[in-house]
Amino acid sequence: MSEPAGASTVFETRGLTVRYGRNAAIQSLDADGPAGSVGLLGPNGAGKSSLIKTILGLLRPAAGTVSVLGRAVPRHAVEVRRRVGYMPESAVAFPGMTGFENVSYAGMIAGMPRGEARRRAHEVLEYVGCGEERYRHIEEYSQGMRQRIKLASALVHDPELLLLDEPTNGLDPGGRSEILELIRDLGHQKGIHVLLSSHLLDDVEAVCDHVLVLARGELRVAGPIAELKQRFAGERVRLTMEGSAARFLELARAQGMEALLPDPLDPSDCLVKVPAGAAPSSVLKLALQSGARVRRFVPRRASLEEVFLDTLDDGGAGAA
Amino acid sequence: MPVYDRSYRRWDGELSRRTLRFVPIVTMGVRNALATKGGWFFTLLLRAFMVVSIVPTLLLFFANYALVYKPGFLPRDFLDFLDVLKPFRAIQHPLLTRFNISFLAVYTMLFGSGLIAKDRASGALPLYLSRPLTLTDYVLGKVGIIGWFIAAFTLAPNLLLWIFGVAADDSGHALRDALPSLGPIVAQNLTVIAVYSLTILAVSSLCRRPMFAGLIWFAVVVLLPSFTAVIATRLGLVSLRAIAPNEALYGIGHHLFDVAELSEQANQQASAPTQLVLRPIFEVLEEFGRTPPGWCWLSAAAWCTLSLAIVLVMLRRQDVAGDSARR
């Protein structure tokens, strides 16, 4: 397994503010994008796409600075775009061309010689799983095939950093998992830094090691996913009692724990969130104190979705 | 059985750092436009039109060839007549441009109307601008595509005709005689290329459907001259005719080649029968000499500036640039 090469920080913003007229899409953002695969999470309007466009130098900051791969943007935007591959959110393509022509043309305008661009286009199309369809016109493609062509176009000049804006949009479950597998491979095996913007938490969790959570143009939380899960959501514990868990639930809630019955028809099964700083075994002790006989005790890690929702709920109180 | 490596491989080549970053846009655009994809009827129609449109060029080449080599299969009287016309070979260039501009309107509409409109409709602009390209590179690339086609029908045949004339003339001072007409040839045709390219790109940037862009442009270029001619006649202001881009371009050609002076020479030197032949040609060219040259140049410059401004404003308003983000 090869880690992406280069500096430990791929991009960084300091006091970044981006405005559309009077509306601030990004507000005083201080963020570091570490090397490897980074997820950019946030609800619609959080400023994810604006951040990507600012990284590309397409939007000019109203205030603050942006640095990508060690170069200041937008001052060195053209230089940065030589080293970056971008897969936009919408179903865009160069019109009137075949899939193959689209990818080789993307290489040519990135600065590759024509022959090299054509050879390389075949390679990356093969990699993204585009067979004979590459010779069909782009207008005849399904959404899934267009996504593959967009990914191949972003990869053709072998970028150091890959910016992916909602790459699984409109894909069926099979296609989605294939694209995610490719992105994971690129970020973890092929030495390319990945910045994946998505509102699909599962996608980010499947591909990324780090996450930046944005809401209303502000950074709510940032850090390694595993650490955030631990830090923000703690752990959940699933307990199955012999008989009713009602008395344990009362006791747990009285001590300020979040506890519930996931299945209202089964009063013996309950789910408890371990309080911050406490060990899962403290829940077991409490259950034994309540006099209940515990048949099953299963500690369960929080999902990224739970971290995300907690982060948005607390208004960024725990922002890193 | 060979085993192919289908995994991702790093590319160790070097990306070009060329300053002419728009060149791939031009080459690919021209290549794509030439690979007609409009069905057999459209292809046949286009090819037939192309054949017809090169007839004026071929006729002038033939006349030059006959004048120089006097081939035996041509009647003696015809060759004598061509000899009389020899001093007026300079007007073949504004005449050729005048003829070709008539066909050029159709080509410009066909090849230019979709250049930005299609990119707008398919949202391809972010794909361009996320590469090492600037908005200027993109516009230069698009101007290059349509400019290539326009030059193929204006500048290229004129230059070939000029080169042929110099190469075939064995008088010893052919280059000296022909050199003064080279400047006007280049100047007039470059003006045609600039005005036609930028105006078609401006309407293309305003529309998402190439057909609408083509129709708007056709109306501006083909119908506006008739409208301005009526207004100019009614108000008695000849300079108003220069508002129409075609009128301005014809006027520029007229003044660059000094057709009025040539017409004067023709009347003094040519015999009565020759004058009869030349008169209608000069009358056509004289028509465009009435518009003051200053107004013609001003009109051409205004059309170019206005068109470029429209293109840049429309492109900056696109999604990727951000409607009102500070730039």
Evaluate if residue A50 carries a pLDDT over 80.
yes
Q: How far, in Å, CA of A61 to CA of A72, rounded? A: 12
Total tally of structural domains belonging to chain B: 1
pLDDT at B45: 77
**Is the same domain home to A31 and A97?**
yes
Residue A13 at interface with chain B, using a CB cutoff of 8 Å: no
Which residues does chain B have within 8 Å of residue A108's beta carbon, measured at their own beta carbons?
A: 24, 28
Which residues does chain B have within 8 Å of residue A82's beta carbon, measured at their own beta carbons?
A: 15, 132
Residue A313 in domain: no
CB contact under 8 A, B16 and A112: yes
Which residues does chain A have within 8 Å of residue B8's beta carbon, measured at their own beta carbons?
A: 124, 127, 155, 185-186, 190
CA neighbours closer than 13 Å in the CB half-sphere of residue A282: 14
- Complex ipTM > 0.95: no
Cβ density class B25-35: b for 16+ within 10 Å, e for less: bbbbbbebbee
pLDDT digits (tens, 9 = 90+) for B256-301: 888 778 777 766 766 777 777 777 777 777 776 778 889 999 999 9
| Other CB atoms within 10 Å distance of the CB of residue A185 | 15
CB contact under 8 A, A58 and B322: yes
Residue A309 in domain: no
pLDDT at A274: 79
CB contact under 8 A, B17 and A56: no
**Is the same domain home to A203 and A75?**
yes
pLDDT at A307: 66
pLDDT at B159: 92
CB contact under 8 A, A93 and B124: yes
**Is the same domain home to A178 and A48?**
yes
pLDDT digits (tens, 9 = 90+) for A18-28: 998 888 999 99
Bond prior to B94 in cis (omega within 30° of 0): no
Which residues does chain A have within 8 Å of residue B25's beta carbon, measured at their own beta carbons?
A: 109
pLDDT digits (tens, 9 = 90+) for B195-210: 999 999 999 999 989 9
What residue of A is the nearest CA neighbor of B11? A158
* Binding-site residues on chain B for chain A (CB distance < 8 A): 4, 6-11, 13, 15-18, 21, 24-25, 27-28, 32, 37, 118-119, 121-124, 126-134, 320-327
Residue A202: pLDDT band with limits 50, 70, 90:
confident
**Position with higher pLDDT, B252 vs B2:** B252
Residue A233 near residue A262 (C-beta atoms within 8 A): no
Residue A158 at interface with chain B, using a CB cutoff of 8 Å: yes
Determine the structural domain holding residue B76 and report its residue range: 23-321
**Is the same domain home to A131 and A58?**
yes
pLDDT at A39: 94
Determine the structural domain holding residue A124 and report its residue range: 9-223
- Among residues A195, A223, A251, which one ends one of the domains? A223
What's A53's domain CATH number? 3.40.50.300
Evaluate if residue B170 carries a pLDDT over 60.
yes
CB contact under 8 A, A185 and B131: no
**Is the same domain home to A198 and A63?**
yes
Residue A159 in domain: yes
Residue A60 at interface with chain B, using a CB cutoff of 8 Å: yes
Phi, psi of B8 (to 5 degrees): -75, 130
**Is the same domain home to A158 and A297?**
no
Residue A52 in domain: yes
**Position with higher pLDDT, A86 vs A265:** A86
**Position with higher pLDDT, B257 vs A184:** A184
**Is the same domain home to A13 and A156?**
yes
Mind telling me how many Å the CA of A74 is from chain B's nearest CA?
10
pLDDT at A316: 45
Look-up: residue for tokens 């699984």?
A168
Residue B42: pLDDT band with limits 50, 70, 90:
confident
CB contact under 8 A, A88 and B130: yes
How far is residue A103 from each of residues A109, A119, A146, A246, measured CA to CA in Å?
10, 10, 11, 62
Residue B94 near residue B253 (C-beta atoms within 8 A): yes
- Give which of B327, B316, B307, B303 is closest to B120, Cα–Cα: B316
Residue B301 in domain: yes
**Is the same domain home to A101 and A179?**
yes
Instruction: Find the largest Cα–Cα distance for chain B.
Output: 86
As given in the structure block, the two tokens for residue A311 are: 């982060």
Evaluate if residue B62 carries a pLDDT over 90.
no
Instruction: Find the largest Cα–Cα distance for chain A.
Output: 77
**Position with higher pLDDT, A62 vs B1:** A62
Residue A2 in domain: no
pLDDT at A302: 63
Residue A303: pLDDT band with limits 50, 70, 90:
low
Residue B128 in domain: yes
* Most confident listed range (A70-74, A273-277, B175-179): A70-74
**Position with higher pLDDT, B181 vs B39:** B181
pLDDT at B123: 84
**Is the same domain home to A216 and A239?**
no
Q: For residues B22-33, give the mean pLDDT.
A: 91
Q: Report A:66-125 residues touching B (Cβ under 8 A).
A: 78-79, 81-82, 84, 86, 88, 90-97, 101, 105-106, 108-114, 116, 120, 123-124
**Is the same domain home to A188 and A289?**
no
**Is the same domain home to A23 and A157?**
yes
Mind telling me how many Å the CA of A100 is from chain B's nearest CA?
13
Which of A84, A92, A111 has its CB closest to that of B124?
Answer: A92
Mind telling me how many Å the CA of A111 is from chain B's nearest CA?
5
In chain B, the percentage of residues whose pLDDT exceeds 90 is 31
Residue B5 in domain: no
Residue A58 at interface with chain B, using a CB cutoff of 8 Å: yes
pLDDT at B24: 92
pLDDT digits (tens, 9 = 90+) for A124-169: 999 998 888 899 988 888 888 899 999 999 999 999 999 999 898 8
CB contact under 8 A, B128 and A127: no
Residue A151 at interface with chain B, using a CB cutoff of 8 Å: no
Strands A235-241 and A294-301: antiparallel
